[in-house]
Structure 1
Amino acid sequence: MPPGRRTSASRDPFVPASLALAAALTAGAVLLICGVRDVDPPHRRAAQAGSASADLTRPTVRPLRPADPVRLRIAAIGVDAPMTRVGLDAAGAPRTPPPGKPGFAGWYGDGTAPGSAGTAIATGHLDTPTGGPGVFYDLSALTEGATIEISRADRRTAVFTVRAVELHDRKKFPSKKVYGSSGRPELRLITCGGGYTKRTGYLSNLVVYATLTAVT
Protein backbone atom coordinates (compact mmCIF):
# COMPACT_ATOMS: atom_id res chain seq x y z
CA MET A 1 0.00 0.00 0.00
CA PRO A 2 1.53 3.37 -0.98
CA PRO A 3 2.70 5.61 1.87
CA GLY A 4 -0.04 7.87 3.18
CA ARG A 5 -2.87 5.88 1.66
CA ARG A 6 -5.68 5.02 4.06
CA THR A 7 -8.31 2.36 3.76
CA SER A 8 -11.26 1.15 5.77
CA ALA A 9 -9.04 -1.64 7.02
CA SER A 10 -6.09 0.59 7.91
CA ARG A 11 -7.52 2.15 11.06
CA ASP A 12 -10.96 1.70 12.58
CA PRO A 13 -10.76 3.45 15.95
CA PHE A 14 -13.30 2.00 18.39
CA VAL A 15 -13.60 3.42 21.88
CA PRO A 16 -13.09 1.01 24.82
CA ALA A 17 -15.41 0.19 27.70
CA SER A 18 -12.97 1.29 30.38
CA LEU A 19 -12.22 4.08 32.79
CA ALA A 20 -10.80 6.05 29.89
CA LEU A 21 -14.07 5.59 28.07
CA ALA A 22 -16.05 6.74 31.09
CA ALA A 23 -13.98 9.90 31.22
CA ALA A 24 -14.54 10.52 27.53
CA LEU A 25 -18.27 9.97 27.95
CA THR A 26 -18.32 12.60 30.65
CA ALA A 27 -16.57 14.98 28.31
CA GLY A 28 -18.96 14.10 25.51
CA ALA A 29 -16.06 13.38 23.16
CA VAL A 30 -16.55 9.75 22.17
CA LEU A 31 -16.86 9.02 18.45
CA LEU A 32 -16.36 5.99 16.25
CA ILE A 33 -14.77 6.80 12.91
CA CYS A 34 -14.11 4.43 10.05
CA GLY A 35 -11.29 4.97 7.60
CA VAL A 36 -11.29 5.75 3.90
CA ARG A 37 -11.07 3.33 1.00
CA ASP A 38 -9.90 4.27 -2.48
CA VAL A 39 -12.39 1.95 -4.19
CA ASP A 40 -16.15 1.54 -3.95
CA PRO A 41 -17.38 -0.58 -1.00
CA PRO A 42 -18.27 -4.20 -1.88
CA HIS A 43 -21.85 -3.79 -0.71
CA ARG A 44 -24.16 -1.37 1.06
CA ARG A 45 -26.45 -3.71 2.95
CA ALA A 46 -25.36 -2.19 6.26
CA ALA A 47 -26.86 1.10 5.11
CA GLN A 48 -30.29 -0.49 5.30
CA ALA A 49 -29.77 -2.26 8.62
CA GLY A 50 -32.47 -1.39 11.10
CA SER A 51 -32.82 -2.36 14.71
CA ALA A 52 -34.48 -5.16 16.59
CA SER A 53 -35.02 -5.05 20.31
CA ALA A 54 -35.66 -7.69 22.93
CA ASP A 55 -36.81 -7.73 26.52
CA LEU A 56 -33.87 -6.51 28.57
CA THR A 57 -35.34 -7.97 31.74
CA ARG A 58 -34.80 -11.56 30.59
CA PRO A 59 -32.66 -13.48 33.12
CA THR A 60 -29.07 -14.27 32.22
CA VAL A 61 -26.70 -16.96 33.40
CA ARG A 62 -24.08 -16.48 36.08
CA PRO A 63 -21.08 -14.44 34.84
CA LEU A 64 -17.82 -16.27 34.14
CA ARG A 65 -14.45 -15.44 35.60
CA PRO A 66 -12.26 -13.44 33.20
CA ALA A 67 -10.47 -15.43 30.49
CA ASP A 68 -9.19 -14.41 27.08
CA PRO A 69 -11.44 -15.19 24.12
CA VAL A 70 -9.99 -17.52 21.49
CA ARG A 71 -12.56 -17.93 18.74
CA LEU A 72 -15.83 -16.32 17.65
CA ARG A 73 -18.55 -18.23 15.84
CA ILE A 74 -21.80 -16.90 14.35
CA ALA A 75 -23.51 -19.79 12.59
CA ALA A 76 -26.26 -17.63 11.07
CA ILE A 77 -23.77 -15.77 8.87
CA GLY A 78 -21.02 -18.38 8.57
CA VAL A 79 -18.44 -16.69 10.80
CA ASP A 80 -15.83 -18.93 12.47
CA ALA A 81 -12.94 -16.63 13.27
CA PRO A 82 -9.90 -16.55 15.53
CA MET A 83 -9.80 -13.67 17.99
CA THR A 84 -6.85 -11.48 18.78
CA ARG A 85 -6.29 -9.03 21.60
CA VAL A 86 -6.16 -5.40 20.53
CA GLY A 87 -4.96 -2.45 22.51
CA LEU A 88 -5.09 1.31 22.08
CA ASP A 89 -3.36 3.42 19.48
CA ALA A 90 -1.56 6.71 20.14
CA ALA A 91 -4.86 8.57 20.04
CA GLY A 92 -6.34 6.38 22.75
CA ALA A 93 -8.62 4.36 20.47
CA PRO A 94 -8.69 0.54 20.35
CA ARG A 95 -7.07 -0.98 17.33
CA THR A 96 -8.72 -3.49 15.03
CA PRO A 97 -6.83 -6.60 13.88
CA PRO A 98 -4.00 -5.83 11.43
CA PRO A 99 -5.11 -5.20 7.82
CA GLY A 100 -3.31 -8.40 6.85
CA LYS A 101 -5.69 -10.37 9.08
CA PRO A 102 -9.16 -9.36 7.83
CA GLY A 103 -10.56 -12.72 8.94
CA PHE A 104 -9.72 -12.08 12.61
CA ALA A 105 -12.04 -10.51 15.17
CA GLY A 106 -10.46 -8.14 17.65
CA TRP A 107 -11.16 -8.07 21.37
CA TYR A 108 -10.43 -4.97 23.44
CA GLY A 109 -8.22 -6.75 25.94
CA ASP A 110 -8.14 -4.08 28.63
CA GLY A 111 -11.92 -4.22 28.91
CA THR A 112 -14.37 -6.92 29.90
CA ALA A 113 -13.69 -10.53 28.89
CA PRO A 114 -16.61 -12.05 26.95
CA GLY A 115 -18.81 -13.88 29.43
CA SER A 116 -17.71 -11.86 32.45
CA ALA A 117 -19.90 -9.24 34.09
CA GLY A 118 -19.86 -6.06 32.05
CA THR A 119 -19.79 -5.15 28.37
CA ALA A 120 -17.21 -6.89 26.20
CA ILE A 121 -16.24 -5.19 22.93
CA ALA A 122 -15.30 -7.02 19.73
CA THR A 123 -14.38 -5.22 16.51
CA GLY A 124 -13.82 -6.41 12.98
CA HIS A 125 -13.37 -5.19 9.44
CA LEU A 126 -16.30 -4.96 7.06
CA ASP A 127 -14.04 -5.21 4.03
CA THR A 128 -10.41 -5.09 2.96
CA PRO A 129 -8.28 -2.53 1.10
CA THR A 130 -8.74 -4.58 -2.07
CA GLY A 131 -12.52 -4.76 -1.73
CA GLY A 132 -12.77 -8.29 -0.37
CA PRO A 133 -14.91 -9.25 2.60
CA GLY A 134 -13.77 -8.81 6.17
CA VAL A 135 -14.79 -10.95 9.13
CA PHE A 136 -17.92 -8.84 9.76
CA TYR A 137 -18.94 -8.45 6.12
CA ASP A 138 -22.37 -10.04 6.74
CA LEU A 139 -22.92 -8.69 10.24
CA SER A 140 -25.90 -6.60 9.10
CA ALA A 141 -27.77 -9.82 8.25
CA LEU A 142 -28.01 -10.82 11.92
CA THR A 143 -31.42 -10.62 13.55
CA GLU A 144 -32.79 -10.80 17.07
CA GLY A 145 -32.42 -14.27 18.54
CA ALA A 146 -29.30 -15.24 16.60
CA THR A 147 -26.54 -16.95 18.57
CA ILE A 148 -22.94 -15.82 19.01
CA GLU A 149 -20.47 -18.26 20.56
CA ILE A 150 -17.09 -17.26 21.94
CA SER A 151 -14.64 -19.97 22.95
CA ARG A 152 -12.33 -18.90 25.76
CA ALA A 153 -8.89 -19.86 26.98
CA ASP A 154 -10.41 -21.53 30.05
CA ARG A 155 -12.16 -24.03 27.70
CA ARG A 156 -15.55 -22.54 28.44
CA THR A 157 -17.79 -21.23 25.67
CA ALA A 158 -19.83 -18.09 26.29
CA VAL A 159 -23.07 -18.19 24.31
CA PHE A 160 -24.70 -14.85 23.59
CA THR A 161 -28.12 -14.14 22.11
CA VAL A 162 -28.56 -11.13 19.83
CA ARG A 163 -31.15 -8.71 21.17
CA ALA A 164 -30.65 -5.81 18.77
CA VAL A 165 -28.84 -4.80 15.58
CA GLU A 166 -28.56 -1.05 15.06
CA LEU A 167 -26.94 1.33 12.63
CA HIS A 168 -25.66 4.54 14.21
CA ASP A 169 -24.56 7.70 12.45
CA ARG A 170 -21.02 8.25 13.64
CA LYS A 171 -21.77 11.92 14.31
CA LYS A 172 -24.56 10.90 16.69
CA PHE A 173 -23.03 7.75 18.07
CA PRO A 174 -24.75 6.72 21.38
CA SER A 175 -21.59 5.95 23.33
CA LYS A 176 -23.28 5.38 26.69
CA LYS A 177 -25.75 2.94 25.15
CA VAL A 178 -23.09 1.01 23.26
CA TYR A 179 -20.31 0.92 25.83
CA GLY A 180 -22.18 1.31 29.09
CA SER A 181 -22.50 -1.64 31.44
CA SER A 182 -25.73 -2.98 32.91
CA GLY A 183 -23.69 -5.12 35.29
CA ARG A 184 -24.71 -8.23 33.35
CA PRO A 185 -22.49 -10.13 30.89
CA GLU A 186 -23.04 -8.45 27.53
CA LEU A 187 -21.31 -8.27 24.17
CA ARG A 188 -21.05 -5.66 21.43
CA LEU A 189 -19.86 -6.42 17.92
CA ILE A 190 -18.91 -3.31 15.97
CA THR A 191 -18.00 -2.67 12.35
CA CYS A 192 -18.38 0.01 9.69
CA GLY A 193 -21.64 0.55 7.84
CA GLY A 194 -24.08 2.97 6.30
CA GLY A 195 -23.41 5.31 3.41
CA TYR A 196 -19.94 5.68 1.96
CA THR A 197 -17.93 8.40 0.27
CA LYS A 198 -14.33 8.31 -0.90
CA ARG A 199 -13.62 11.48 1.04
CA THR A 200 -14.97 10.43 4.44
CA GLY A 201 -15.28 6.65 4.24
CA TYR A 202 -18.24 4.93 5.89
CA LEU A 203 -20.63 7.31 7.59
CA SER A 204 -22.01 5.00 10.27
CA ASN A 205 -21.20 2.10 12.54
CA LEU A 206 -23.15 -1.14 12.77
CA VAL A 207 -23.54 -2.40 16.34
CA VAL A 208 -24.80 -5.81 17.43
CA TYR A 209 -26.07 -5.97 21.02
CA ALA A 210 -26.04 -9.40 22.66
CA THR A 211 -26.52 -10.85 26.15
CA LEU A 212 -25.00 -13.97 27.71
CA THR A 213 -27.68 -16.68 27.77
CA ALA A 214 -25.71 -19.93 28.21
CA VAL A 215 -22.30 -21.33 29.09
CA THR A 216 -20.96 -24.66 27.82
Structure 2
Amino acid sequence: MTSGAGGRHEAWRAAGAAVVAILALVGAGFIGAALNEAPPLQPPQPIAEAGPADLDSTDLNSTDNRRAVGDGSDGSSDMSDDLHSADSVGMTRSEPTDITIPRIGVAAKIMTLGVNPDGTVQVPPLDQAQLAGWYQPGPSPGEIGNSVIVGHVDSAAIGPAVFFHLGSLRAGDIIQITRKDQSVVKFAVDSVKSYPKVGFPTELVYGPTNKVGLRVVTCGGQFDEENRSYVNNIIVFATLID
Protein backbone atom coordinates (compact mmCIF):
# COMPACT_ATOMS: atom_id res chain seq x y z
CA MET A 1 0.00 0.00 0.00
CA THR A 2 1.19 3.52 -0.73
CA SER A 3 1.48 6.03 2.10
CA GLY A 4 -0.93 8.86 2.90
CA ALA A 5 -4.70 8.69 3.31
CA GLY A 6 -5.43 9.48 -0.31
CA GLY A 7 -2.79 7.07 -1.51
CA ARG A 8 -4.15 4.23 0.60
CA HIS A 9 -7.63 4.86 -0.66
CA GLU A 10 -6.66 5.00 -4.30
CA ALA A 11 -4.43 1.93 -3.98
CA TRP A 12 -7.34 0.03 -2.45
CA ARG A 13 -9.78 1.04 -5.17
CA ALA A 14 -7.35 0.57 -8.06
CA ALA A 15 -5.91 -2.73 -6.88
CA GLY A 16 -9.03 -4.15 -5.29
CA ALA A 17 -8.74 -7.52 -7.01
CA ALA A 18 -5.16 -8.00 -5.86
CA VAL A 19 -6.01 -7.01 -2.31
CA VAL A 20 -8.98 -9.38 -2.27
CA ALA A 21 -6.78 -12.18 -3.57
CA ILE A 22 -4.33 -11.66 -0.71
CA LEU A 23 -7.07 -11.47 1.90
CA ALA A 24 -8.69 -14.62 0.54
CA LEU A 25 -5.60 -16.53 1.63
CA VAL A 26 -5.86 -15.34 5.22
CA GLY A 27 -9.58 -14.77 5.74
CA ALA A 28 -10.16 -18.17 7.29
CA GLY A 29 -8.72 -17.17 10.63
CA PHE A 30 -8.41 -13.43 10.69
CA ILE A 31 -10.34 -13.02 13.93
CA GLY A 32 -9.68 -15.87 16.32
CA ALA A 33 -10.75 -16.05 19.92
CA ALA A 34 -7.83 -16.87 22.22
CA LEU A 35 -9.32 -18.64 25.19
CA ASN A 36 -7.59 -21.01 27.55
CA GLU A 37 -10.79 -22.95 28.04
CA ALA A 38 -14.23 -23.18 26.48
CA PRO A 39 -16.18 -19.91 26.83
CA PRO A 40 -18.57 -19.89 29.82
CA LEU A 41 -21.28 -18.32 27.65
CA GLN A 42 -22.15 -19.09 24.04
CA PRO A 43 -22.48 -15.85 22.05
CA PRO A 44 -25.78 -15.45 20.19
CA GLN A 45 -25.75 -16.69 16.61
CA PRO A 46 -27.61 -15.51 13.49
CA ILE A 47 -30.77 -17.51 12.88
CA ALA A 48 -29.62 -18.76 9.49
CA GLU A 49 -26.12 -19.82 8.53
CA ALA A 50 -24.88 -18.59 5.17
CA GLY A 51 -25.02 -21.01 2.27
CA PRO A 52 -23.07 -21.30 -1.00
CA ALA A 53 -25.50 -18.95 -2.77
CA ASP A 54 -24.34 -16.13 -0.52
CA LEU A 55 -20.88 -16.20 -2.10
CA ASP A 56 -22.06 -15.55 -5.65
CA SER A 57 -21.80 -11.75 -5.76
CA THR A 58 -19.63 -8.88 -4.57
CA ASP A 59 -22.43 -6.31 -4.36
CA LEU A 60 -24.92 -6.93 -1.57
CA ASN A 61 -26.69 -3.64 -2.13
CA SER A 62 -28.55 -4.53 -5.32
CA THR A 63 -32.11 -5.81 -4.87
CA ASP A 64 -31.23 -9.32 -6.09
CA ASN A 65 -28.22 -9.65 -3.83
CA ARG A 66 -29.99 -8.34 -0.76
CA ARG A 67 -32.54 -11.06 -1.42
CA ALA A 68 -29.84 -13.71 -1.78
CA VAL A 69 -28.18 -12.82 1.51
CA GLY A 70 -31.23 -11.94 3.59
CA ASP A 71 -34.20 -13.53 1.82
CA GLY A 72 -36.47 -13.51 4.85
CA SER A 73 -35.71 -17.11 5.82
CA ASP A 74 -34.12 -15.76 9.01
CA GLY A 75 -37.20 -13.78 9.94
CA SER A 76 -35.93 -10.55 8.38
CA SER A 77 -37.08 -8.63 5.33
CA ASP A 78 -35.17 -6.60 2.77
CA MET A 79 -34.76 -2.91 3.49
CA SER A 80 -36.79 -0.67 1.18
CA ASP A 81 -35.02 1.13 -1.65
CA ASP A 82 -35.87 4.58 -0.32
CA LEU A 83 -34.16 3.77 2.99
CA HIS A 84 -30.90 3.48 1.06
CA SER A 85 -31.39 6.62 -1.03
CA ALA A 86 -28.27 8.17 0.52
CA ASP A 87 -25.90 5.35 -0.42
CA SER A 88 -24.93 6.63 -3.88
CA VAL A 89 -23.04 9.71 -2.59
CA GLY A 90 -19.87 9.16 -0.59
CA MET A 91 -18.27 11.38 2.04
CA THR A 92 -14.67 12.54 2.19
CA ARG A 93 -12.22 10.29 4.02
CA SER A 94 -12.07 10.53 7.83
CA GLU A 95 -11.04 7.81 10.24
CA PRO A 96 -13.71 6.43 12.59
CA THR A 97 -13.36 6.94 16.33
CA ASP A 98 -16.44 5.33 17.90
CA ILE A 99 -19.07 2.70 17.08
CA THR A 100 -22.51 2.57 18.68
CA ILE A 101 -25.02 -0.24 18.20
CA PRO A 102 -27.97 0.57 20.47
CA ARG A 103 -29.81 -2.74 20.15
CA ILE A 104 -26.94 -4.76 21.64
CA GLY A 105 -25.52 -2.09 23.93
CA VAL A 106 -22.27 -1.47 22.05
CA ALA A 107 -20.59 1.90 22.63
CA ALA A 108 -16.91 1.38 21.87
CA LYS A 109 -13.83 3.21 20.73
CA ILE A 110 -12.33 2.23 17.39
CA MET A 111 -8.61 1.69 16.85
CA THR A 112 -6.89 1.73 13.46
CA LEU A 113 -5.70 -1.59 12.03
CA GLY A 114 -3.69 -2.65 9.00
CA VAL A 115 -1.99 -5.80 7.79
CA ASN A 116 0.60 -7.92 9.61
CA PRO A 117 3.97 -8.74 7.98
CA ASP A 118 2.64 -12.19 7.07
CA GLY A 119 -0.28 -10.63 5.18
CA THR A 120 -2.97 -11.35 7.77
CA VAL A 121 -5.38 -8.66 8.88
CA GLN A 122 -4.55 -7.10 12.23
CA VAL A 123 -7.04 -7.35 15.11
CA PRO A 124 -7.24 -5.49 18.44
CA PRO A 125 -4.97 -6.93 21.17
CA LEU A 126 -6.76 -9.49 23.33
CA ASP A 127 -6.20 -7.36 26.43
CA GLN A 128 -8.06 -4.55 24.61
CA ALA A 129 -10.90 -6.72 23.34
CA GLN A 130 -13.41 -4.10 24.39
CA LEU A 131 -12.22 -2.03 21.42
CA ALA A 132 -13.28 -2.39 17.81
CA GLY A 133 -10.85 -1.99 14.91
CA TRP A 134 -11.13 -0.28 11.53
CA TYR A 135 -9.35 -1.84 8.53
CA GLN A 136 -7.50 1.28 7.38
CA PRO A 137 -6.44 0.14 3.87
CA GLY A 138 -10.13 0.11 2.94
CA PRO A 139 -12.65 2.96 2.80
CA SER A 140 -13.54 4.90 5.90
CA PRO A 141 -17.18 4.73 7.03
CA GLY A 142 -19.16 7.02 4.77
CA GLU A 143 -16.87 6.74 1.75
CA ILE A 144 -17.89 4.84 -1.35
CA GLY A 145 -17.03 1.19 -0.80
CA ASN A 146 -17.25 -1.32 2.03
CA SER A 147 -15.77 -0.07 5.27
CA VAL A 148 -14.72 -2.96 7.53
CA ILE A 149 -14.91 -2.91 11.33
CA VAL A 150 -13.64 -5.98 13.21
CA GLY A 151 -13.62 -7.01 16.84
CA HIS A 152 -13.36 -9.97 19.19
CA VAL A 153 -16.32 -11.92 20.50
CA ASP A 154 -14.47 -12.81 23.71
CA SER A 155 -10.97 -13.26 25.08
CA ALA A 156 -9.15 -14.91 27.95
CA ALA A 157 -8.21 -11.46 29.26
CA ILE A 158 -11.68 -9.93 29.64
CA GLY A 159 -14.28 -12.60 28.82
CA PRO A 160 -17.18 -11.40 26.62
CA ALA A 161 -15.79 -8.75 24.29
CA VAL A 162 -17.04 -5.83 22.21
CA PHE A 163 -19.00 -7.88 19.66
CA PHE A 164 -20.21 -10.71 21.90
CA HIS A 165 -23.85 -10.02 20.97
CA LEU A 166 -23.27 -9.17 17.30
CA GLY A 167 -25.04 -12.32 16.10
CA SER A 168 -28.34 -11.16 17.60
CA LEU A 169 -28.65 -8.16 15.25
CA ARG A 170 -31.49 -8.19 12.72
CA ALA A 171 -32.33 -6.33 9.52
CA GLY A 172 -33.19 -2.71 10.23
CA ASP A 173 -31.02 -2.35 13.34
CA ILE A 174 -28.93 0.82 13.37
CA ILE A 175 -25.14 1.06 13.57
CA GLN A 176 -23.71 4.53 14.18
CA ILE A 177 -20.11 5.51 13.46
CA THR A 178 -18.55 8.73 14.74
CA ARG A 179 -15.62 10.01 12.66
CA LYS A 180 -12.60 12.15 13.47
CA ASP A 181 -14.08 15.07 11.49
CA GLN A 182 -16.96 15.06 14.04
CA SER A 183 -19.46 13.73 11.51
CA VAL A 184 -21.77 10.85 12.44
CA VAL A 185 -22.63 8.18 9.88
CA LYS A 186 -25.61 5.87 10.32
CA PHE A 187 -26.02 2.47 8.71
CA ALA A 188 -29.01 0.10 8.66
CA VAL A 189 -28.36 -3.62 8.91
CA ASP A 190 -29.33 -5.51 5.76
CA SER A 191 -28.49 -9.00 7.01
CA VAL A 192 -26.41 -10.97 9.48
CA LYS A 193 -24.73 -14.22 8.45
CA SER A 194 -22.40 -16.83 9.91
CA TYR A 195 -19.74 -18.18 7.54
CA PRO A 196 -17.27 -21.02 8.14
CA LYS A 197 -13.78 -19.53 8.45
CA VAL A 198 -12.57 -21.97 5.79
CA GLY A 199 -15.06 -20.33 3.41
CA PHE A 200 -14.68 -16.71 4.43
CA PRO A 201 -16.53 -14.52 1.84
CA THR A 202 -13.59 -12.23 1.13
CA GLU A 203 -15.09 -10.39 -1.82
CA LEU A 204 -18.37 -9.75 -0.03
CA VAL A 205 -16.46 -8.13 2.82
CA TYR A 206 -13.46 -6.45 1.17
CA GLY A 207 -14.44 -6.38 -2.51
CA PRO A 208 -15.24 -3.22 -4.47
CA THR A 209 -18.71 -1.70 -4.72
CA ASN A 210 -20.16 1.63 -5.85
CA LYS A 211 -22.32 1.84 -2.72
CA VAL A 212 -21.55 3.13 0.78
CA GLY A 213 -21.46 -0.04 2.86
CA LEU A 214 -20.31 -1.30 6.23
CA ARG A 215 -19.14 -4.77 7.24
CA VAL A 216 -18.82 -5.66 10.94
CA VAL A 217 -17.02 -8.94 11.62
CA THR A 218 -16.37 -11.13 14.65
CA CYS A 219 -16.08 -14.84 15.53
CA GLY A 220 -19.02 -17.19 15.90
CA GLY A 221 -20.34 -20.68 15.47
CA GLN A 222 -19.25 -23.56 17.65
CA PHE A 223 -16.18 -23.33 19.85
CA ASP A 224 -13.48 -25.75 18.66
CA GLU A 225 -12.03 -27.29 21.81
CA GLU A 226 -8.96 -28.68 20.05
CA ASN A 227 -7.93 -25.47 18.28
CA ARG A 228 -9.24 -23.15 21.03
CA SER A 229 -11.18 -20.95 18.64
CA TYR A 230 -14.56 -20.50 17.00
CA VAL A 231 -15.14 -22.18 13.66
CA ASN A 232 -17.16 -19.40 12.00
CA ASN A 233 -17.12 -15.66 11.40
CA ILE A 234 -20.28 -13.63 11.97
CA ILE A 235 -20.61 -10.83 9.43
CA VAL A 236 -23.06 -7.94 9.56
CA PHE A 237 -23.84 -6.34 6.20
CA ALA A 238 -25.13 -2.76 6.47
CA THR A 239 -25.85 0.18 4.17
CA LEU A 240 -25.73 3.94 4.69
CA ILE A 241 -29.01 5.65 5.55
CA ASP A 242 -29.86 9.32 5.41
Counterpart residue number, 2:188: 161
Report percent identity of matched pairs: 29
**Counterpart check, 1:60 vs 2:94:** no
CA distance in 2, matches of 1:130, 1:101: 8
Map of 1:74 onto structure 2: 101
Instruction: Report the count of equivalent residues.
Output: 198
Higher helix share: 2
Q: Which whole-Å CA distance do the structure 2 matches of 1:175 and 1:41 have between them?
A: 27
Mapped to 2, the partners of 1:75 and 1:48 lie a distance apart of: 18
Contact 1:107 1:123 survives alignment (8 Å): yes
**Distance in structure 2 (CA, Å) of the matches to 1:21 and 1:35:** 28
**Contact 1:24-1:30 within 8 A present in 2 as well:** no
Question: Partner amino acid for 1:59?
Answer: S
Q: Does 1:22 align with 2:17?
A: yes
Q: Which string of whole-angstrom CA distances, capped at 9 and with x for unpartnered residues, describes residues 83-108 of structure 1?
A: 11012112112211122211111001
**Which structure 2 residues correspond to residues 14-163 of structure 1 after superposition, within 5 A?**
22-23=17-18, 25-26=20-21, 29-33=25-29, 34-47=32-45, 49-50=47-48, 52-53=70-71, 54-55=78-79, 58-61=84-87, 62-130=89-157, 132-163=159-190
Q: CA shift at 1:165, angstroms?
A: 0.1
Q: Give, in angstroms, the shift of residue 32 of structure 1.
A: 2.7
Contact 2:153 2:161 (C-alpha < 8 Å) held by counterparts: yes
Q: CA deviation at 1:109?
A: 1.2
- Are the aligned partners of 1:38 and 1:198 in contact in 2 as well (CA < 8 Å)? no
Q: Structure 1: 5+ residue runs without aligned partners?
A: 1-16
- Give a deviation string over 1:30-85, Cα, whole Å, max 9, x none: 52312542211233344554264525854334211000101000000000001110
Letter in 1 for 2:153: L
**SS in structure 1 at match of 2:203:** helix
* TM-score, normalised relative to structure 1: 0.82
Specify whether residues 36 and 42 from structure 1 end up closer, same or farther in structure 2 by C-alpha distance, changes over 3 A only: same
Residue pair 1:150, 1:157 contacting (<8 A) in 2 also: yes
TM-score by length of 2: 0.74
Which shows bigger deviation, 19-28 or 105-114? 19-28
State the AA in 1 paired with 2:25: A
| Residues 22/41 of structure 1: CA separation in 2 closer, same or farther (3 Å cut) | farther
Please state how far the C-alpha of 1:25 moved relative to its aligned partner: 4.1
* Cα distance, 1:125–1:18 mapped onto 2, change above 3 Å: farther
Q: Which moved more, 1:205-214 or 1:85-94?
A: 85-94
What RMSD, in angstroms, separates the aligned Cα atoms of the two structures? 2.3
Q: Which runs of 5+ in 2 are unaligned?
A: 1-11, 50-69, 72-77
Residue type at the aligned position of 1:168: Y
